[in-house]
A and B are shown apart, each in its own frame.
Chain A
């Protein structure tokens, strides 16, 4: 298997623009997670899905953030409008049932 795939790997945008991050989980994994990593706050869970259904979105910072999982092989995390404080590395991870989470390579987002 190719592992968790994320795109783009790097994104530079200007404040106020819409940003969409994409993730393809490992085939057969029931769970999909979105994390954000910053120097100040470390790794934070934003939202996770089980069988394409959002289970816990309490980590989503504000209404500017939204996530979808239209099918078992694709998820998006959208920020609209983006702000400089959203600059971070965003990870997608997937896992089979309640077991080990496997991470994608991350998307480094810079909002100018």
Chain B
């Protein structure tokens, strides 16, 4: 079974600085999706960025980018020019494309990011 591990329960960053959140996963599959979701205090789950495993190019969305290392099964999120509104829980998630569980998202336990003014 696939697993997702976020080894940093909490992180802190100074406003305008850069921070990287770590995520590793375990799978025997070659085709899958990876996601980062943000959950602010409002508890809304907001998609931050998405990566398809067969694409070698790292996904980028404005100040958010990923470092996808398929062989190492690593999927880190980099937030540049951090803003106060970036403070939230960040969840890494995996989605298979195979078989009957193709719909299932597997989440890590999350990293709580604080942004200091």
Contacts and interface: CB of A to CB of B under 8 A. Distances in A.
A82 B43 CA distance: 23
A91 B45 contact: yes
A38 B20 CA distance: 25
A56 B103 contact: yes
The A interface is mostly helix, strand or loop, or mixed, namely strand
A108 B43 CA distance: 10
Contacts of A43: 91, 105, 107
B3 interface: no
A103 B109 contact: no
15 contacts: A42-B109, A43-B105, A55-B100, A56-B104, A100-B35, A100-B47, A101-B47, A102-B47, A103-B37, A103-B44, A103-B45, A105-B42, A106-B43, A106-B44, A106-B45
